Amino acid sequence: MSLFDWFADRHKEAPALRIIKEAEEGDGLWSKCPECTIVFYRKDLIANASVCSKCGHHHRIDSESRIALIADHNSFEPINSNLLPTDPLGFIDRHNYADRIRDTQYSTGLREAVITGLCLLDGLPLALGVMDFRFMGGSMGSVVGEKITRLIEIATSRGYPVVIVCASGGARMQEGMLSLMQMAKISGALERHREAKLLYLPLLTHPTTGGVTASFAMLGDLILAEPKALIGFAGRRVIEQTLREKLPENFQTSEYLQEHGFVDYIVIRTNLKNTLASMLRLHGYDNN
């Protein structure tokens, strides 16, 4: 056998290696779990709400998939989808902010980092907002803040509960103070919602950080989180340098925050809809 034939045979005898390589590169058919490294058929993963059937790792999902998991079939009606971000500061870093917005809209098919709308959840009316990390890291700019505020105000006027799925790197630096103002605006709308004795449930997913954590993500009547989600305000390294202390390995995870009283309940994604429906009914919402 020639050296060439030997290498050719080795290539033929290792189909598993090719599958793993294709999974890592994301060919659309196979996926590799970053937690347990198992390779599985992508359709099976999606059918299980993008949760690894072996180790329970929650893969990141987009806003459309999240809505499909929560809302009853064909019940979701988007609101304020015509609101588009602008470049009020004429911000330029490596790219013009206006160009960055346009490119992100093109690559994701989204108009902004949050989708808001009204829907039914197990027959119960619900105001739902879902952030999408694909759009500039789910950052909170003026339009994100305005859409969430309007969603809460509509829910308050109609007597609906609110669920916001958080996935964000924080306030959007390209909009400066205008993005930081959204923290107070959304918080004010949530306070009026609370005064009306209506329910607000944030779901913290991986990651939820920065100004989102410092405002509406932590203002829920009950704070829910997915397993092992990164949740925090400042980064781990910044905190360690400030405190001059070594932090625990599980610091800023859902489990750590639940242990210390910042998260009320960690919900597995495959149980999310049933869990939310149960919480709504326990708080007096019904199908009538």
In this structure, are 136 and 167 located in the same domain?
A: yes
In a domain, 288, yes or no: no
**189 assigned to some structural domain:** yes
In a domain, 287, yes or no: no
Is the residue at 30 inside a domain?
Answer: yes
Look up residue 178 and give its amino acid.
L
Q: How confident is the model over 51-68, as pLDDT tens digits? A: 998 999 999 999 999 999
Annotated binding-site positions: 33, 36, 52, 55
Tokens encoding 120: 């039914």
Together in a domain, 134 and 251: yes
**Nearest CA-CA partner of 85 in 76, 98, 73:** 98
Residues 115 and 222 in one domain: yes
Of the listed ranges 30-34, 145-149, 206-210, 269-273, the one predicted with least confidence:
30-34
Same domain, 146 and 239: yes
Residues 66 and 112 in one domain: yes
Domain match, 21 and 152 both = no
Residue 111 lies in a domain: yes
Q: What's the average model confidence in pLDDT over 241-266?
A: 94
pLDDT at 78: 98
16: pLDDT strictly greater than 70: no
Decide if pLDDT at 12 tops 80. no
pLDDT at 19 over 90: no
* 230 and 108 belong to one structural domain: yes
178-233 pLDDT tens trace: 999 999 999 999 999 999 999 999 999 999 999 999 999 999 999 999 999 999 99
In this structure, are 89 and 26 located in the same domain?
Answer: no
pTM, rounded to two decimals: 0.88
In a domain, 244, yes or no: yes
The number of folded domains in the chain is: 2
Position 48 in a domain? yes
Element (H, E) at 40: strand 39-41
Same domain, 71 and 148: yes
Quick one: 79 and 190 in the same domain?
Answer: yes
Same domain, residue pair 127 and 9: no
List the Cα angle 25/27/33 in 5-degree steps. Answer: 60
Residues 65 and 184 grouped into a single domain = yes
Q: Evaluate the omega torsion of the peptide bond into residue 207 and state whether it is cis, within 30 degrees of 0.
A: yes
Task: Say what angle helices 272-282 and 63-70 make with each other, to 10 degrees.
Answer: 50
The domain boundary residue, chosen from 42, 59, 76: 59
> For residue 74, what pLDDT is reported?
96
CATH of the domain at 241: 3.90.226.10
Look at the alpha carbons of 269, 270, 275, 277 in this order and tell me if their dihedral is positive or negative. positive
pLDDT at 15 over 50: no
**Who contacts 264 (Cβ-Cβ below 8 Å, separation ≥6)?**
220, 222, 223, 224, 258
Range of the domain at 72: 60-282
Residue 288: the pLDDT is 64
Binding residue ranges for Zn(2+): 33, 36, 52, 55
pLDDT at 287: 75
Helix, strand or coil for residue 127? strand
Residue 130 lies in a domain: yes
Residue 10 pLDDT > 80: no
